[in-house]
Homo-oligomer: A and B are copies of this chain.
Amino acid sequence: MAPKYAPNLRSRLAPLLLFLQTGFIVIYALYVEFDPYAFMFGNTSSKLYSEFQDVNVMVVAGFGFLGTFLVRYGFSGSGFNLLVAVIATQWSIILNGYESWIQSRRILIDLKSLVFAEICTASALISIGTVIGKTNPVQLILIAILEVSGFILNGWLLRTFFEVKPLYCAMQLHTFGAFFGLMLTWVMRRKGSETPFEKEKMDRKTGLFSMFGTLFLWMFWASLNSILVDEGEKKLRIILSTYLALAVSAVAAAAVSVFTSPRGRINLGHIQKCSLSGGVAIGVSMSLVHRPWVAMTIGLAAGVISTLSLRYLKRHMLLAFGCHDTCGVLSVHGLPGLLGWLAHLILQINHMDDRTTAIRFAVFHICTLLITLSLSMSMGVITGLLVKWSFWRPPQDRKCFDDQAFWEFPKLAKKK
């Protein structure tokens, strides 16, 4: 008979956290310094700060509250998100400084380092969306560390061997995170998980908490997409494109959701998730969007694909492959990421007069996608195999999607 209580994490979580944190402090003490010249070159850090805060709000509050929709999993949704985010960010700062460490044995950090690190963290938080509720915090932290490492490796490969621009590499966060997470949840599938978990549902109040997360992601997405771009006409274009794409994908999500419902009702989950798909798709293709209607069309396509896939494909993935995707990451980040890639390809080829260059670009562009996909999926499989290990004491099926496995409810226990 299975044990009645959730496994005790005391001997796993506390040592892991202390080990990681001490390790980080040692590495920082040896190699990391504040960049003393960061403010010399035209005060960019000062302008950056308010945009950094937008991205910070997305990572900490946006993703944090997006994950609170599960009726008994709100503490974990927001609490573990904070924990994972701060660890992944500290780790990303180290990894992103690797090249400078090779050269000078020290890593200089400024606000831009923090922004880059938070973008990597966002990619890990996306992956975690697939397994939330079925894992414990120890597993989440391991996943985040491996995902971030893979994502940074992917960016390095693309930049070094394909001379892809850093902005485009960063925008692969959605595709990388989604397919990493997908393989992860596939490897970690549980027997009998084709039937829905008892506690995997939303109620009137948790739906609103989750809406709060959605709205903060939705509102500040323009900052996420434009933060790596310097002031100028391009930045303005990206801000406006992102707003328009998000607006259209919100409309598309509502339209498709009500259209595919026999009783003509909207699914709040669709609105919350698919309203963001326009931001994902435009993020991958935005450099080449020069007219508002192009952004809107990309947003429309993303919204439609995303909502349809959440309505039909998600269930199919579960039944056919046993691939249970808690937050619908495939629909929200995976497919819109691919769509954005396709839009990028089409827009780029459209700009080119010469057929040979176009074909060369297409081949090159397909290669970057294949590398991202294969690296993310193989890293996802490896990570899945590692964290599946029962040494990490994953929660039993009965304790999935339940805060009570991880959080003290002393007062409740005493009184009721």
| A residues neighboring B (CB under 8 Å) | 5, 7-11, 13-14, 17-18, 20-21, 24-26, 28-29, 32-36, 38-39, 43, 45-47, 49-51, 53-54, 56-57, 60-61, 64-65, 68, 72, 74-75, 78-79, 82-83, 86-87, 89-90, 109-111, 114, 137, 196, 198, 200-205, 207-209, 211-212, 215-216, 218-220, 223, 231-233, 235-237, 239-240, 243-244, 246-248, 250-252, 254-256, 258-259, 261-268, 271, 275, 290-293, 296-297, 300, 403, 405-408, 410-412, 414-415
Q: List 13 A-B contacts (CB under 8 A).
A: A20-B251, A26-B293, A28-B291, A34-B240, A49-B239, A61-B215, A61-B216, A68-B208, A79-B266, A82-B271, A90-B248, A109-B292, A198-B415
* Contacting pair A258 B74 (CB below 8 A): no
Decide if the interface of chain A is mainly helix, strand, loop or mixed: helix
Question: Can you tell how many copies of this chain the complex includes?
Answer: 3
Of the listed residues A45, A207, A254, the one surrounded by the most CB atoms of chain B closer than 10 A to its CB is A254
* Contacting pair A21 B209 (CB below 8 A): no
* Contacting pair A34 B291 (CB below 8 A): yes
Chain B min CB distance to A219 (Å)? 5
**Cβ contact of A250, chosen from B7, B86, B243, B250, cutoff 8 A:** B86
* Contacting pair B264 A34 (CB below 8 A): no
Cα A293 to Cα B90 in complex, Å, equals 11
Question: Cβ of A51: which chain B residues have Cβ within 8 Å of it?
Answer: 49-50
Question: Cβ of A64: which chain B residues have Cβ within 8 Å of it?
Answer: 211, 215
Beyond known contacts A17-B252, A29-B291, A111-B239: 10 more, CB 8 A cutoff: A10-B259, A32-B293, A33-B292, A46-B235, A53-B220, A83-B271, A87-B251, A110-B240, A111-B240, A266-B408
Question: Cβ of A300: which chain B residues have Cβ within 8 Å of it?
Answer: 21, 25
Question: Cβ of A252: which chain B residues have Cβ within 8 Å of it?
Answer: 17, 21
